[in-house]
Chains A and B, each alone.
Chain A
Amino acid sequence: MTAQDQVPPPLGAPGAALDEVLRAEHISKSYGAVTALRDVTVRLAHGEVLGLIGDNGAGKSTLMKILCGFQQPDSGRIVVDGEEVTLKSVMQARALGIDVVYQDLALVNELSVYHNMFLNRELVRWPLLSNRSMRRIAQEHLTEMGVNVPSVSVPVASLSGGQRQAIAVARAVFANAKILLLDEPLAAMGVKEGAMILDLVQDLKRRGDVSVIIIAHNYGQVLQVCDRVNLIQHGTITLDKPTAQTSVQELNDIVVAEYRRAMEERQRSE
């Protein structure tokens, strides 16, 4: 493991007492000749909101796919609640309480809000669906979470982007997710709708029973709700700090400096 010696894990305080719900250690993943992740270690504390920030192609999506069981790492180990696990499928990860809200939301536009909330977890009185119960429970749950839709019976197609995102988050929480991975929750969303989603995350934090990883490339807004920030660049984590000890400015500087260095290298090689 020489790579480990050369690139020490840049955690603020490695091994420091952190009430961990999730730890992914020394994760590496390559697609053919392309190395997407190189010895990445990520930790998530109970009730924490972690911002996983990086440019497009930095490896955030790969890391997320590994954490939610969609793909398997080439090496490394994943520890959930102190127990090492092998995430072989999304279903298995979900059974462990790891749920993901994808950028494309994985909602079915043609189905109603409550059918989407219960997708693949339907209440059934064989052979028929218990639509009335599902409608009632979905409504209760959305009200409790402060998510407001015209009716849980309307097709998701008729909702706005922010509402759809909120439904997707509510669905994951509803499924008893302990660890929620939000993939670019603010992408393609207006400022107001983005603010609503951030409020929803704040609410989750206040409730304290869900830990959240927000994956984003635009960190300005996300930083408001994060307790801690991990910056991922070229498949490695180059910064791990509590949000209070960093700033948008610092993150900007790091990314810009990296960009400059890359430009200089390119010029030198030419």
Chain B
Amino acid sequence: MSDTVESGSTVVGRPGLGGGNAGGNGTRHFVADRFGVFSRQREATVLVVTVALLLYFGLTHASSFVTQTNAVDLLSELMAPIAIIAIGEVLLLICGEIDLSVGFIYTFAPFVMYFAVNDYHVPAALAIILGLLTGVVAGWVNGFITVTLGVPSFITTIGTGFILLGLGLVLSGGEPTEIPPISMSAGKWLGVPGNPWQWMPLIWTVVLVLIFHLVLVRTRWGLYTIAAGGNLLGAREAGINVGRIKYGNFMITGFLGALVGLQTAFYTNNVDPLAGGYTPMFYAVIAAVIGGTAMLGGSGTILGAFLGAIVLATLTDGFDVIGVNANWLGIIFGGAILVAMIANVQLARLRQAGRTL
């Protein structure tokens, strides 16, 4: 029995059966433990990078970086949209899907709100809810085409994204317009410039991050999301309704995209058919990946993506503050993505090694 206890991994605890491959088990567990530490280290690493960046910009450019104006720029304007959309992309990536259309849901939802108030005299709060519902419906359509009709989400959401872009352009005639002033009293809850409402995007972000972090790690929904991406067939065999999970995560992402679109529209007092698009979506995916979400599904964290969003926002804002040419940003972002992805791939390899040893 002492053999089996020492190797710590024998299947059936019986003398004589497990002792022989103690060496093999030892190696495997060394790798497995290392993997566990690495994966936990992932969030810690991003946290260290975040703090280091903030310290660097804060210490070297205190007068311009450590100000309330800049904090609002960084957190409410730059970080919040990335982080909120990233929540949805993390859930989708974990369950094995992606939404490339979310940036166009962002574009389209404010128009629904705008026309509801302007043309149909819908109360502003209700119009905002209609805008959010548009996102949920768009997410449902993405789910329907992907799950029920069987089109890969990469293709589905390119298609629906174009349609939403086109709809926004057709409805607006290609011209941006101001938010109807009547709706501002409701819209300030989403965030508008000036104290204290300028902090609303940050508050929304923190609340949503905490809620969906709990959803992912402490609820059935999160467990099934991981199961759907980790072992689709196995999850089905266990009787999990995988389609429902994917539909739901598309709808959550649509909702979050619409929320960010409405927030940005109110914050900038501008309903713009050219707002949103691919850029916020890609930033969100990059934040997720930097935060440790696997593109191939099965693993990822909301907190990691939140930190990833802070890193991206800090880089954008920080280089702007210290006056670095914005052209350099592309190179820096590209490097950050590649480093994160290389780490991701190598970790997966390590995990494979742990499985087959």
* Cβ–Cβ contact B11 & A108, under 8 A: no
- B14–A199 contact, CB under 8 A? yes
Determine if B10 and A106 form an interchain contact, defined as CB atoms under 8 angstroms apart. no
Majority secondary structure, B binding face: helix
Query: Which residues on A sit within 8 Å (CB–CB) of B8?
Result: 148, 150
B:19-50 near A, CB below 8 Å: 20-21, 25, 28-29, 32, 35-36
Give the residue of B214, B229, B238, B298 whose beta carbon is less than 8 angstroms from that of A120.
B238
A246 partner residues in chain B, CB cutoff 8 A? none
Which residues of chain B are within 8 angstroms of A158 by Cβ–Cβ distance? 28-29, 32, 35-36, 354-355
B9 in the interface (beta carbon within 8 A): yes
Is A128 engaged at the interface, CB distance under 8 Å to the other chain? yes
Are A154's CB and B36's CB within 8 A?
A: yes
B29 touches A148 (CB 8 A): no
Q: Are B227 and A192 in contact (CB under 8 A)?
A: no
Decide if B160 is an interface residue (CB 8 Å cutoff): no
List the A residue with the shortest CB-CB distance to B227: A108
Q: Is B351 an interface residue (CB 8 A)?
A: yes
B231 in the interface, Cβ–Cβ < 8 Å?
yes
A257 at the interface (CB under 8 A from B): no
Interface stretch (choices A43-51, A72-80, A160-168, A216-224): A160-168
Our count of residue pairs bridging A and B at CB distance below 8 angstroms stands at 124
The stretch of B119-127, B135-143, B217-225 in contact with A is: B217-225
Given A110-B299, A111-B230, does the pair A129, B10 have CB atoms closer than 8 Å?
Answer: no
**B235 & A148 in contact (Cβ 8 Å cutoff):** no
A208 sits at the interface (CB 8 A): no
Assess whether A193 is in contact with B355, with CB atoms less than 8 Å apart: no
CA distance A131 to B218 in the complex (A): 8
Chain A residues, CB < 8 A from B229:
110
With A and B bound together, what is the CA distance between A102 and B17 in angstroms?
Answer: 24
Given A111-B226, A122-B220, A158-B35, are A106 and B233 also a contact pair (CB < 8 Å)?
Answer: yes
**A158–B239 Cα gap in the complex (Å)?**
24
CB-CB under 8 A from B223, the residues of chain A are 111, 115, 119, 122, 129
Separation in Å of the A215 CB from the closest CB of chain B?
15
Cβ of B18: which chain A residues have Cβ within 8 Å of it? 148, 192, 196
In the bound complex, CA of A218 to CA of B239 (Å): 30
Interface size on B, residues (CB 8 A): 40
Q: Tell me, yes or no, whether A264 is within 8 Å of chain B by CB.
A: no
Q: Which of B13, B239, B298 contacts A109 (CB 8 A)?
A: B298
A146 to B12, CA, bound (A): 5
B344 in the interface, Cβ–Cβ < 8 Å?
A: no
Task: Please give, as numbers and ranges, the residues of chain A lying within 8 Å of B29 by CB-CB distance.
Answer: 150, 158
Interface-centre pick from A102, A154, A166 (highest chain B CB count, 10 A): A154
A137 interfacial by beta-carbon distance below 8 Å: no
Q: In the complex, which residues 105-157 of chain A have their Cβ closer than 8 Å to any Cβ of chain B?
A: 105-111, 115, 119-120, 122, 124, 127-129, 131, 146-150, 154-155, 157
**Contact, CB under 8 Å: B11 / A193:** yes
Whether A90 sits at the interface, judged by CB under 8 Å, is yes
Instruction: List, in ascending order, chain B residues with CB within 8 A of A131's CB.
Output: 218
The residue of chain B having its C-beta at the shortest distance from the C-beta of A102 within the complex is B237
Nearest Cβ on chain A to B225's Cβ, whole angstroms: 11
Q: Which residue of A lies closest to B9 (CB)?
A: A150
- Neighbouring A residues of B219 by C-beta, 8 Å: 124, 127-129
Least CB distance from A50 to B in Å reads: 22
A106-B28 contact given A122-B220, A154-B36, CB 8 Å threshold: no
Measured between alpha carbons, how far is A106 from B219 in the docked complex, in Å?
20
Interface set, chain A 163-210, CB cutoff 8 A to B:
163, 165-166, 192-193, 195-197, 199-200, 203
Name the residue among B25, B226, B355 with the largest chain A CB count within 10 angstroms: B355
Q: Which of B123-162 touch A at CB < 8 Å?
A: none
CB distance from A133 to the nearest CB of B (A): 13
Once A147-B11, A148-B4 are accepted as A-B contacts, the answer to whether A157 and B351 lie under 8 Å apart by CB is yes
On whether the beta carbons of B11 and A120 are closer than 8 Å, the reply is no
Q: In the complex, A195→B11 CA distance in Å? A: 10
Interface contact A124-B230, CB-CB below 8 Å: no
Within 8 A of B (CB), among A220-265: none
Q: By the criterion CB–CB under 8 Å, are B218 and A149 in contact?
A: no
B231 near A107: Cβ-Cβ < 8 Å: yes
Q: Of B21, B214, B231, B299, which is in contact with the most chain A CB atoms at under 10 Å from its CB?
A: B231
- Can you report 22 residue pairs joining A to B where beta carbons are below 8 Å apart? A90-B237, A91-B239, A102-B237, A106-B231, A108-B226, A109-B355, A119-B235, A148-B8, A148-B13, A150-B29, A154-B32, A155-B36, A157-B355, A160-B11, A160-B28, A166-B11, A195-B17, A196-B10, A196-B12, A196-B17, A196-B18, A199-B14
Residue numbers of B with Cβ under 8 A of A are 4, 8-14, 17-18, 20-21, 25, 28-29, 32, 35-36, 214, 218-220, 223, 226-227, 229-231, 233-235, 237-240, 298-299, 351, 354-355
Known: A110-B298, A119-B223. 18 other contacts (CB 8 A): A100-B237, A102-B237, A106-B235, A106-B238, A107-B231, A108-B234, A109-B230, A120-B240, A129-B220, A147-B11, A157-B32, A157-B355, A158-B29, A158-B35, A160-B9, A160-B11, A160-B28, A200-B12
